[in-house]
Amino acid sequence: MPNAKRRRLFRVTAAAVAAALGGTALAACGSSDGSDARSGPVSLTYWSWTPGMDKVADLWNKGPGKSAQITVTVKKQASGDDLVTKILTAHKAGKAPDLVQAEYQALPTLVSNDALADIAGDVGEARGKFAEGVWQQTTLGTDALYAVPQDIGPMMFYYREDLFKQYGLTVPTTWEQFAQTARALKKKAPDKDLTTFSANDSGLFAGLAQQAGAKWWTTTGDKWKVGIHDAATKKVADFWGGLVKEGAVDDQPMYTPAWNKALDTGKQIAWVSAVWAPGTLTTAAPDTKGKWAMAPLPQWSQSENVTGSWGGSSTAVTTDSQHKAAAAKFAVWLNTDGTALNALAKEGGIYPASTSAQLSGAFTTPPAFFSNQPDFYTKAAAIAKTTAPSAWGPNVNVAYTSFKDAFGAAAKNKSDFSAALDTMHAATVADLKKNGFGVSE
């Protein structure tokens, strides 16, 4: 169990966090009444946004759950800040569900409100099924375990194989080479861009900073220390700011019709993304099927082999659950059992956090969009093992919002990204202090 000092570190009122998230009071259904799993049937409620999660839960209910007399009912929810707010509101009323799907960066906020239970004593040997950098995201640097990893988003480099060959480009293995490649393409085809720096998705920048060794939130005693403008992140900000300022890469936001068209027509010929990119490309650039390839993320030095993470979630047990051991049993099954993980891949399109699942079942053949790269998932599994540790804090939402505002303006004006980073850092520190957290300067 975490010590008292650690508990104080994570404490803050649910009202304060809900206000920070911009949430409003929401009606919530709580855990079902009933006896302990060891003395009779148990019914659990699981809030999740993953498509088809109800079908996966049915496999449990008809199989191991039936034997253990544990039934799980899935209630579909929105993701992101909306779900965090709803969980906190329900918990404030003592009516949170037994289990919740939570993004890794949301865990500190939920733990700070005492909404998640420590299930370290109920997961058996599950730890050995996950990469250390992934498992670390659910412990928050303590001896506790606040969730079981479910899916991950190791970052990779995607590029148009045909256009790289057409323009005589080599796949970059370092960020210096990446910059050189962007400039070389501009000289050969001024109307094309290697990629874009997008300020509308904070997760991309966070993952790049993570790869560089950034630690945005750490702790000193019972205080938080914010390092958003640390040397590692400054390096990333200056690198991309320089490319945008000189016009070597585009600065349009992702996920827009214009961005989709750029990918589909070959105006943008590469994309720094994550393992889930094939699904996005399938809808954004349907005419380019079979023309892309995936490679490891460029490194800051040739001797390094590390990647960042963009996205991913976990399965957590709430402190309101009256059946925590039973809930933890389901969470472990859901994220380590081969049948469950294959179903999650088929129904929800997730890339499993469990290392044993990354080369089996649905992941023995490449995504249909990458049928030209038979070793896609073999490479993906190797890259996933190199995921750098993350360092999330209790107000990620504030940092992300500030990023979009500050970096969005800097990209548009082609101004100093380092100054935008300072703005993001200051806003995050101010919010922590405003909400009563101890902050170490």
Task: Per residue of the chain (441 residues), give pLDDT as tens.
Answer: 334 444 445 544 333 444 434 333 333 343 333 334 456 799 999 999 999 999 999 999 999 999 999 999 999 998 888 899 999 999 999 999 999 999 999 999 999 999 999 999 999 899 999 988 899 999 988 899 999 999 999 999 999 999 999 999 999 999 999 999 999 999 999 999 999 999 999 999 999 999 999 999 998 888 999 999 999 999 999 999 999 999 999 999 999 999 999 999 999 999 999 999 999 999 999 999 999 999 999 999 999 999 999 999 999 999 999 999 999 999 999 999 999 999 999 888 899 999 989 988 889 999 999 999 999 999 999 999 999 988 899 999 999 999 999 999 999 999 999 999 999 999 999 999 999 999 997
> How high is the pLDDT of residue 133?
86
pTM (2 d.p.): 0.88
CA dihedral 67, 125, 111, 90 (to 10 degrees): -10
* CA 260 – CA 262 distance, rounded (Å): 5
Among candidate residues 176, 193, 175, 142, the one with its CA nearest the CA of residue 1: 142
CB atoms within 10 A of CB 87: 31
Among candidate residues 336, 347, 335, 313, the one with its CA nearest the CA of residue 55: 347
* CA 160 – CA 263 distance, rounded (Å): 9
Two tokens at 21? 């998230």
* CA 380 – CA 382 distance, rounded (Å): 5
Q: Residue 148 pairs with which residues in a beta bridge?
A: 315
> How high is the pLDDT of residue 52?
94
Among candidate residues 128, 105, 131, 130, the one with its CA nearest the CA of residue 387: 131
> How high is the pLDDT of residue 141?
82
* CA 409 – CA 417 distance, rounded (Å): 9
> How high is the pLDDT of residue 220?
84
**Cα 292 to the center of its chain, rounded Å:** 23
Among candidate residues 419, 393, 431, the one with its CA nearest the CA of residue 112: 393
Element (H, E) at 44: strand 42-48
> How high is the pLDDT of residue 260?
97
In sequence order, which residues have a C-beta less than 8 Å from that of residue 97 and are 6 or more positions away?
A: 28, 29, 30, 31, 44, 45, 46, 47, 75, 90, 318, 320, 321
What φ, ψ does residue 222 adopt, rounded to 5°? -105, 30
Coil, strand or helix at 374: coil
* CA 285 – CA 278 distance, rounded (Å): 10
Coil, strand or helix at 15: helix
Residue type, 22: G
> How high is the pLDDT of residue 35?
37
* CA 310 – CA 161 distance, rounded (Å): 23
> How high is the pLDDT of residue 394?
92
> How high is the pLDDT of residue 361?
87
**Cα 238 to the center of its chain, rounded Å:** 23
> How high is the pLDDT of residue 9?
59
Among candidate residues 26, 86, 14, 56, the one with its CA nearest the CA of residue 346: 56
> How high is the pLDDT of residue 32?
38
Give the DSSP letter of residue 388.
P
> How high is the pLDDT of residue 39?
60
